[in-house]
Structure 1
């Protein structure tokens, strides 16, 4: 892909063959589409080159996300399910996911063996498909404002996973929401958050999220966890990293593993 297209006129000059050059010149005059064809071929080569450096057609999801300037930690949760299963084992039997597009996460979790899953969509559902409508109708997925206490009892779930939700909360509401999520977990809380500098909500999405994402550093989150009385789950972190290394998995979001309140 890095080779330059050959210039026919330069090759002719190098050969020093005047009769052949005249013949080609006559053909080019009689075939005006030749120059157009060369332009088209060059354009196709440029397009192919750009795709090869962005992960290819339908290739690397992370690369495509970076091109579009939009990062989804909810889609990252779906990619991370095998690693989460290795890290939490039996704790994956009863899971609550909180975040946008939770229907897709729940649908994938329910395909896992011996896994029960529920979801909370913190924003209005937009054009839900038949599967999502069915999950809502059955009460497996519900739409709720996470700035207020969710209608679940304490220790209702083995594991609580949250993505694309806390980044959009101001500290005022974060102080209420994070402890509320932690109280519902028996074995732990997993948070998928964006890296500082990543674009998250485009202009059209700001009305949905209500505010632009506040992407915080890992050191900010760790200090905040300590202030909230939450501790990192070192055992889960180690198992998750080992499983990720075996699968060559590199998350495009920050992943925090927290122990539940005792």
Structure 2
């Protein structure tokens, strides 16, 4: 072997040896990079294993909805109110989702009032409307139901858009059609801002009010909080490790 060939062989051997030493480090770096990208993907609401977090992330960033909170709270509500929650009226955007979930519950009947246009609704929702289970109506006007038509009325993401002038009429109307109570799901102050789509549906931005404001308003219009229901709901929520992200008020029906 010539001197030149020997020199070339040593250089090649050195390069291969260097690559062999750096291989474990390169593998570790690639693994860490993959884990980092997976975390970013999951936090961004990607599909797959972490896809279930997508709704939570989007709602926290501004697309938050107390109607989604109702869906999560249904098992707790059923435990708190027991077998009395048999005939439910839900009022609020996306009511078809809430009604559909209640209808899947054993011995539970449900109806809904959608205060927004449903042109973009899916076939299931339009079918509920055609059957008369869900109605599209402006809740600033009297509801087309007789007094005590439902055991319970649940309202979400709707009262936040009403001024006290209309609340004075709407809230007693919701209580009128309930026999055993009304449950209000409302946002916390500073929790979100209304998007353009919401403004076009309701005509005004949502006004998030404090718990103290709601309690004073309820007292002023001669309504009472349902203390036994509040305690049972808190107990059921604690047992289920359920922590609401919306304010929830339980009111008595008229007797």
With structure 2 as the length reference, what TM-score do the two structures score?
0.82
Match of 2:116 in 1: 123
Deviation at 1:114, TM superposition (A): 1.1
Q: Which residue of 2 aligns with 1:76?
A: 69
Matched, 1:110 2:110: no
Aligned to 2:157: 164
Tell me if the contact between 2:88 and 2:111 (Cα under 8 Å) persists in the aligned partners: yes
Indicate the residue corresponding to 1:48 in structure 2.
Answer: 38
Find the residue that maps to 1:157 and give its secondary structure: coil
Contact residue 161 and residue 205 of structure 2 kept, 8 A? yes
- 1:71–1:200 Cα contact (<8 Å) kept: no
1:189 to 179, 182, 202: 182
* Residue aligning to 1:91: 84
Q: Given the alignment of the two structures, is residue 224 of structure 1 paired with residue 217 of structure 2, yes or no? A: yes
Q: Which runs of 5+ in 2 are unaligned?
A: 1-10, 20-25
Distance, in Å, in 2 between the alignment partners of 1:39 and 1:204 is 43
Matches within 5 A, 1:13-24: 23=15
Q: How does 1:199-214 map to 2 (within 5 A)?
A: 199-214=192-207
Kept after mapping to 1: 8 A contact 2:59/2:65: no
Q: What does residue 152 of structure 1 align with?
A: 145
Q: CA RMSD in A?
A: 2.9
Q: Distance in 1 between matches of 2:81 and 2:54?
A: 25
Larger Rg: 2
The one-character-per-residue Cα deviations of 1:78-129 (angstroms, maximum 9, x if unpaired) are 1111111111123311111000111111011011111111100011113222
Q: Name the CA distance, whole Å, in 1 between partners of 2:194 and 2:119.
A: 16
Q: Determine which of 219, 241, 246 is the counterpart of 2:239.
A: 246
- What is the aligned length? 236
Residues 130/60 of structure 1: CA separation in 2 closer, same or farther (3 Å cut): same
1:45, distance to aligned residue in structure 2 (A): 4.2
- Alpha-carbon distance in 2 for matches of 1:93, 1:53: 39
Equivalent-residue separation in structure 2 for 1:47 and 1:66 (angstroms): 22
Residue of structure 1 in register with 2:8 after alignment: none
Residues 153-187 of structure 1, C-alpha deviations (whole Å, 9 max, x = no match): 11111100000100111111111111110111111
Q: Cα 1:58–1:52, aligned 2, differ >3 Å: closer, same or farther?
A: closer
Alignment partner, residue 51 of structure 2 = 58
The CA distance in 1 between the partners of 2:39 and 2:202, in whole Å, is 36
Q: 1:100 to 1:257 in 2, by over 3 A?
A: same
Give 1:26 deviation, angstroms. Answer: 8.0
